[in-house]
Copies of this chain bind each other. A is one copy, B any other.
């Protein structure tokens, strides 16, 4: 039997994205080189953590005078960035779903939502940036575009059913906006964004800590 482990988005991978964002910021400000402690301070971690993360992902380039920012960005892109257009689908054309199909930055980063799906025929007839199709057509679209990634923006109550269906159709990664913990097999990655929890944790700090 194939041995699989449950996949979770690792924190060091998340930090790699943060580093990239910081580096782009430094570049815009006109810098060419920087030290790990400068990058760490900007990203909110220690210089040790920066070096450890880079070492884990085999990102080199620390010389006297620090890292060359362009080289670092290329090395990080090498690790995290898909080179070609990535096709994905979205399920659930509520407020969040509609915002996401219109979110231009996805396309700039070569992430293309090829179709969205909703059970509501009224939504299917409306014009958005992408076609809105009935769920019965998911199979066809997933096969046609070799889709591996889906954005799930359906109500909590139907999220598990849709996730099961996506898995059966070969989806390997889900960005889940429904406020539920999905039960999924171990050869699929689920990344949860719970908007209420994110907002409530900000409130927590403003009330109890700051």
Cβ-defined contact, B200 with A80, below 8 A: yes
Find A95's partner among B21, B43, B102 (CB 8 Å cutoff): B102
A8 — which chain B residues lie within 8 A by C-beta?
A: 44
| A199/B21 contact (C-beta < 8 A), A103-B95, A179-B105, A206-B189 known | no
Cβ-defined contact, A180 with B6, below 8 A: no
Cβ-defined contact, B189 with A210, below 8 A: yes
A196 — which chain B residues lie within 8 A by C-beta?
A: 105-106, 109, 111
| A200/B102 contact (C-beta < 8 A), A82-B207, A205-B189 known | no
Within 8 A of B (CB), among A71-104: 80-82, 86, 88, 95-96, 98-100, 102-103
Find A202's partner among B149, B179, B198 (CB 8 Å cutoff): B149
CA distance A98 to B98 in the complex (A): 10
User: A191 interface residue, CB < 8 Å from B?
Assistant: yes
A13 — which chain B residues lie within 8 A by C-beta?
A: 201, 204
Nearest chain B residue, comparing its CB with the CB of A129: B95
Find A42's partner among B80, B173, B179, B181 (CB 8 Å cutoff): B181
Task: Tell me the smallest distance from the CB of A64 to a CB of chain B, in Å.
Answer: 27
User: A154 interface residue, CB < 8 Å from B?
Assistant: no
Cβ-defined contact, B21 with A194, below 8 A: yes
| A86/B203 contact (C-beta < 8 A), A189-B210, A193-B198 known | yes
9 A–B pairs (Cβ distance < 8 Å), ordered by A: A6-B44, A7-B210, A17-B197, A21-B197, A86-B203, A172-B210, A173-B203, A189-B202, A191-B201
**Which 6 pairs from chain A and chain B are nearest by CB?**
A99-B99, A17-B197, A173-B202, A173-B206, A95-B99, A189-B205
Residue positions of A touching B, CB distance < 8 A: 6-9, 11, 13-14, 17-18, 21-22, 25, 42-44, 80-82, 86, 88, 95-96, 98-100, 102-103, 105-106, 109, 111, 148-149, 151, 172-175, 179-181, 187-189, 191, 193-207, 209-210
